[in-house]
């Protein structure tokens, strides 16, 4: 059984816009969990309506809600400037991640986000980067505008704006090829979304579900994910349930070796966050034990990739071997949740390592 049942019940109730009892005796633990999991702005508004909270707890909750609201105003202003400039320059962009996901919440201010992600694709990449520099001449610029980067980044008035060539940085050649085709479909069939007074484009729902899930999983593999990302996926699947093309989604997941991972996350969305089984494609209880383990480790903060403090060897072949062992360690860590994806990680490490070892262009090094 998953740990912290009260936390899951409170988040589930907030997503459903239902009241939930906030146990005062667990206030300290719940404040910490919501801070770690990025769900404070979602659950605190309803919690503040209850009696019995200490003045300290109320101040903490109000501070999070106020900070999120202020950040939304600032982000929306910067987003409007960036989007309008791209439109004026004839760049066809798709808005992704934070702003589009906040629109799924009962109130956008209940979903904190900190940067702006604009997908423009490879052909429009350099013109779009130039537009961003011209629009925000005083912005900090520390990333190089290189063709093998996932995105180009500037910071305008404290807001990070990422101009994306691609939505995901994959390593296995077949993954890259197959995902590019999925991405192209998601862009070609992009739909309209209104964010405040701004009309933007967002990915087609089936591809967007894949992307949101894959981005969450990528964080679990590396930086560490949080429950907010699973709330995003839950609300997206709920909002677009009738528009999700299940045969195409199945094809996508199988092609990228992600079906087992998807089922793990569906289990969490259903049993932790209240998504209905009907709205959770390919839901199964066969992954229950591993999914419960993942739920516990997620809340315990155990999903982050361990930091490697040792210095990498200078000799090229020794360094390559050293990196390969680190990546095998990463797959070993993931095996406890998804043995199937861990096998794919190992295959990717071997193939990518061989390609890099004998590549004539060593700019990646």
Which position has the token pair 């999120």?
Answer: 68
Alpha carbon 27 to chain centroid distance? Answer: 28
Question: Which residues, other chains included, contact 97 with Cβ-Cβ below 8 Å and sequence gap of 6+?
Answer: 113, 117, 215
Comparing C-alpha atoms, which of 144, 207, 18 is closest to residue 152? Answer: 144
Contact at 8 Å (CB) between 230 and 268? yes
Structural domain harbouring 114: 65-203
pLDDT at 200: 97
Q: Tell me 279's DSSP state.
A: G
Contact at 8 Å (CB) between 237 and 269? yes
Average pLDDT over residues 287-301: 95
Q: Tell me 53's DSSP state.
A: -
Contact at 8 Å (CB) between 15 and 42? yes
Q: pLDDT (tens digit, 9 = 90+) per residue, 157-170?
A: 899 999 999 999 99
Record the tokens describing residue 47, joined without a space. Answer: 């919690």
Which of 186, 203, 220 corresponds to the end of one domain? 203
> What are the b/e assignments for 170-189, b being 16+ CB within 10 Å?
bebeebeebbeebbebbbee
Q: What percent of the chain has pLDDT over 70?
A: 89
254 within a domain of the structure (yes/no): no
The total number of structural domains in the chain stands at 2
Average pLDDT over residues 238-256: 98
Contact at 8 Å (CB) between 266 and 290? no
Confidence of residue 304 (pLDDT cuts 50, 70, 90): confident
Residue ranges of alpha helices (H) inside 40-172 are 40-47, 55-88, 98-102, 125-135
227 within a domain of the structure (yes/no): no
11 within a domain of the structure (yes/no): no
Comparing C-alpha atoms, which of 209, 205, 149, 211 is closest to residue 180? Answer: 211
27 within a domain of the structure (yes/no): no
* DSSP-derived 3-state class of residue 198: strand
Which CATH number do you get for residue 177?
3.30.460
Cα distance between residue 149 and residue 143, in whole Å: 9
52 within a domain of the structure (yes/no): no
User: What are 280-284's contacts with CB under 8 Å, separation 24+?
Assistant: 280/237, 281/237, 281/244, 281/246, 281/249, 281/250, 282/246, 282/250, 282/253
pLDDT for 106 beyond 80? yes
244 within a domain of the structure (yes/no): no
For residues 69 and 198, membership in a common domain is answered with yes
How many CB atoms lie under 10 A from the CB of residue 80? 15
Q: pLDDT (tens digit, 9 = 90+) per residue, 6-50?
A: 999 999 999 999 988 889 899 999 999 999 999 999 999 999 988
Which of 172, 203, 234 corresponds to the end of one domain? 203
Alpha carbon 193 to chain centroid distance? Answer: 19
Confidence of residue 365 (pLDDT cuts 50, 70, 90): very low
Alpha carbon 361 to chain centroid distance? Answer: 31
Which of 180, 203, 226 corresponds to the end of one domain? 203
Please state at what angle helix 205-221 crosses helix 259-271, rounded to 10 degrees. 90
Q: Tell me 111's DSSP state.
A: S
Comparing C-alpha atoms, which of 131, 97, 128, 138 is closest to residue 114? Answer: 97
Record the tokens describing residue 345, joined without a space. Answer: 């990680």
For residues 199 and 74, membership in a common domain is answered with yes
252 within a domain of the structure (yes/no): no
pLDDT for 288 beyond 70? yes
90 within a domain of the structure (yes/no): yes
Which position has the token pair 């995003």?
Answer: 232
Which position has the token pair 């949101």?
Answer: 212
pTM above 0.85, yes or no: yes
The strand order across the sheet containing 140-141 reads 94-96, 115-119, 159-164, 151-156, 140-141
């Amino acid at each position: 059984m998953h740990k912290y049942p009260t936390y899951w019940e409170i988040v589930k109730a907030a997503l459903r816009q239902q009241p939930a009892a906030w146990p005062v005796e667990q206030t300290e633990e719940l404040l910490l969990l919501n801070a770690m999991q990025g769900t404070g702005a979602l659950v605190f508004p309803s919690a503040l309506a209850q009696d019995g909270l200490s003045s300290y707890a109320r101040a903490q909750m109000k501070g999070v809600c106020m900070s999120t609201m202020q950040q939304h105003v600032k982000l929306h202003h910067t987003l409007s400037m960036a989007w309008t400039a791209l439109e004026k320059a004839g760049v066809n962009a798709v808005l992704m991640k934070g702003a589009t996901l906040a629109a799924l919440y009962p109130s956008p201010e209940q979903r904190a986000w900190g940067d702006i992600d604009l997908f423009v694709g490879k052909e429009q990449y350099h013109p779009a980067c130039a537009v961003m520099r011209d629009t925000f001449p005083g912005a900090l610029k520390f990333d190089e505008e290189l063709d093998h980067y996932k995105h180009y980044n500037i910071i305008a008035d404290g807001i990070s704006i990422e101009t994306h060539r691609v939505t995901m940085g994959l390593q296995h050649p077949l993954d890259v090829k197959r995902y590019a085709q999925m991405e192209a479909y998601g862009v070609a069939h992009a739909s309209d979304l209104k964010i405040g007074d701004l009309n933007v484009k967002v990915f087609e729902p089936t591809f967007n579900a894949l992307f949101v899930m894959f981005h969450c999983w990528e964080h679990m593999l590396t930086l560490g994910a949080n429950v907010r990302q699973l709330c995003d996926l839950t609300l997206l699947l709920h909002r677009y349930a009738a528009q999700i093309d299940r045969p195409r989604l199945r094809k996508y997941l199988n092609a990228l070796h992600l079906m087992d991972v998807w089922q793990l996350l569906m289990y969490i969305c259903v049993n932790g966050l209240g998504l209905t089984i009907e709205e959770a494609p390919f839901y199964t209880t066969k992954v229950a034990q591993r999914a419960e383990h993942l739920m516990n480790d997620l809340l315990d903060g155990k999903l982050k990739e361990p930091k490697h403090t040792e210095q990498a060897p200078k000799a090229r072949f020794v360094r390559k071997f050293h990196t390969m062992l680190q990546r095998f360690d990463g797959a070993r860590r993931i095996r406890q949740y998804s043995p199937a994806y861990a096998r794919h990680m190992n295959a990717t490490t071997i193939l990518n390592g061989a390609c890099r070892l004998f590549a004539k262009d060593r700019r990646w090094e």
